[in-house]
Amino acid sequence: MKPTFSNEHSQHLLLDDHHKAGDERAKNFEDMLKKSISSSGTINPNEVNLKSNSIDFIYIQLATIITSFYHRLNLPLRVCLSPTYELLSYESLRLTIEVYLPSQIDYVRVGSVSLIDDYLARRLMIKHNSDNKSYVAMIHARVADVSQLSKCVLEASQTIGRGIKLPSVLLNR
């Protein structure tokens, strides 16, 4: 099941932000992120490269790994880039993963990946190697909000007259 990438509102805000800033790098990053997440059915562990020096590349790989986890659950999924006014002070980018909750007739947030850059590292004085000038860039990932995710799985797994049929990846083998 392919995720729907971004809702209309977030997408328009992101595009407006990119056009106003004239930031071609941000637009290319967004396109690469969309392509990576849209094409990820399952992740090949040999393709994961956590030794990269690029924080953008690591962010995309982490987002792809987490969304592939949700693909395996076969739930209605939506992946959104949060608009700037929703970001916390330390975030420079947030990708939100939402799953449809039938009882609320809406999508609920079950996970997120945030790019923090060096905002916290500067405040905590966390530096890279012996070089006193370069601060560590950080990524924060919330893989699963277990309470929200369990609601979504249980509601989506209900069958008429037969109880609950959980997705095969959750069954004990």
Q: Please give the structure tokens belonging to residue 97.
A: 């993963």
Question: CA 44, 169, 71, 95: dihedral to nearest 10 degrees?
Answer: -90
pLDDT of residue 145: 92
- Spatial distance between the Cα atoms of 42 and 72, rounded to a whole number of angstroms: 8
**Strand ranges, E, within the chain:** 4-5, 77-81, 93-101, 106-117, 138-142, 158-159, 163-164
State the amino acid at position 162 in one-letter form: R
Domains of the chain, with CATH numbers? 4-170 (3.30.930.10)
pLDDT of residue 8: 45
> How many C-beta atoms lie closer than 10 Å to residue 98's C-beta?
23
pLDDT digits (tens, 9 = 90+) for 49-94: 555 567 878 888 888 888 888 888 888 889 888 888 998 988 888 9
- Spatial distance between the Cα atoms of 59 and 141, rounded to a whole number of angstroms: 9
Q: Within the chain, which residues score under 50 in pLDDT?
A: 6-19, 21-22, 45
pLDDT of residue 36: 67
Q: Cα-atom radius of gyration of the chain, to the nearest Å?
A: 18
Torsion sign (Cα): 94, 100, 106, 109: negative
